[in-house]
């Protein structure tokens, strides 16, 4: 047990530090290319912090733990929206950029629904993985070209003055080294984390799907937690929101897509994931709609709702895994009372904001 705990904690630390080094190095390069902070949050920061999910998925799928791979992505996406956005919004109300509303949030919803539809036959095939990964490449090319075009227009309106780039250029080898070391730490950390998590699951009789949905998902999302909270504290609210949305898009299109391409026969989908966890992921994605569209601000109380639902979701998973007597009552209460009440509240707020915007 001590050896397994050491493997798990060591892998988690390597993942966190590796993602941090990767983001630091890659962010410097991205800014030098003239990409906006929002796009940096949607791409470099989001993809860097989601690299642990990719490393763990490939490692666990090739090692014969497909439930751990699927649970990692599904759990991470639920964790990103409910926990990270919720906690960040409690720290400071988050501004939602218009580009997120026009493009990135709808893409996150479409990707969530597409993965669910692909999984209905019990398998995420190589062809479906190729479609997901191809969509990711198209999305990347589009937003980077759009951002560089907008920045070129802005730069042409400003007087050209010499900028102190020499110090950044001097640090270029160091930034490249950070990226390489970060990637190496992610690969090694993912191996240790998967080995420790699988050993824990077998020892306690807990399914690999539950471990992936909770411990591994939260562990691999720690870079997103640190990034979004730090961005919120520093007032970089575009990066805080963009990081979560971008990470979810990356998890669905790139992590699941690439894993399906690399694993022979694709990723098998368990009936438990298809019957509960994947629908929850889709519902959570669509639950962001009224919040993202009400005045383009995620208020503190809305962040509190997100956090409440993540705690309730985790409690349900734990009670269900331990066959607790209160599972039916808890599920019925959430399904027929708490969830409809929340949806009605958000619906009324959405229409109130809509009337306000018309009256302006």
Long-range contacts of 151-158 (CB under 8 A, 24+ apart): 151/34, 151/35, 151/36, 152/34, 155/34
Entry pTM: 0.75
| Res 108: pLDDT | 92
Distance (Å, rounded) from C-alpha 317 to C-alpha 110? 26
Residue ranges, the chain, pLDDT below 70: 1, 19, 23, 26-27, 29-38, 41-42, 45, 49, 149-172, 187, 190, 220, 236-239, 290-296, 331, 334-360
| Res 345: pLDDT | 63
| Res 86: pLDDT | 87
| Res 127: pLDDT | 93
| Res 135: pLDDT | 93
| Res 110: pLDDT | 94
Tally helices (H) and strands (E) across the chain: 20, 4
| Res 2: pLDDT | 76
């Amino acid at each position: 047990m001590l050896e397994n705990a050491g493997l798990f904690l060591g892998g988690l630390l390597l993942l966190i530090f590796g993602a941090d080094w990767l983001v630091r190095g890659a962010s410097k390069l991205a800014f030098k290319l003239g990409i906006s902070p929002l796009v940096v949050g949607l791409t470099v920061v989001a993809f860097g912090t989601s690299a642990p999910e990719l490393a763990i998925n490939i490692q666990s799928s090739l090692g014969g733990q497909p439930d751990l791979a699927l649970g990692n992505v599904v759990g991470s996406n639920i964790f990103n929206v409910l926990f990270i956005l919720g906690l960040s919004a409690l720290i400071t109300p988050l501004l939602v950029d218009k580009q997120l509303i026009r493009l990135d949030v709808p893409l996150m919803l479409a990707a969530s629904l597409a993965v669910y539809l692909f999984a209905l036959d019990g398998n995420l095939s190589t062809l479906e993985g190729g479609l997901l990964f191809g969509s990711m490449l198209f999305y990347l090319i589009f937003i980077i070209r759009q951002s560089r075009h907008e920045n070129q227009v802005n730069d042409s309106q400003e007087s050209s003055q010499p900028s102190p780039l020499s110090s950044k250029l001097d640090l270029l080898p160091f930034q490249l080294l950070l990226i390489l070391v970060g990637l190496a730490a992610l690969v090694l950390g993912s191996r240790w984390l998967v080995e420790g998590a699988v050993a824990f699951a077998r020892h306690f009789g807990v399914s690999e799907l539950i471990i992936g949905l909770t411990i591994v998902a939260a562990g691999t999302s720690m870079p997103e937690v640190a990034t979004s909270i730090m961005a919120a504290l520093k007032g970089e609210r575009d990066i805080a929101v963009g990081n979560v949305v971008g990470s979810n898009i990356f998890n669905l299109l790139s992590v699941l897509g690439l894993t399906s391409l690399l694993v022979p026969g694709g990723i098998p989908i368990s009936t438990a994931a298809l019957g509960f966890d994947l629908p929850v992921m889709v519902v959570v994605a669509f639950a962001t709609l009224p919040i993202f569209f009400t005045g383009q601000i995620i208020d503190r109380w809305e962040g509190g709702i997100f956090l409440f639902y993540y705690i309730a979701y985790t409690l349900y998973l734990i009670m269900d895994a331990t066959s607790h007597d209160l599972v039916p009552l808890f599920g019925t209460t959430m399904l027929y009372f708490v969830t409809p009440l929340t949806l009605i509240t958000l619906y009324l707020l959405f229409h109130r904001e809509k009337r306000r915007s018309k009256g302006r």
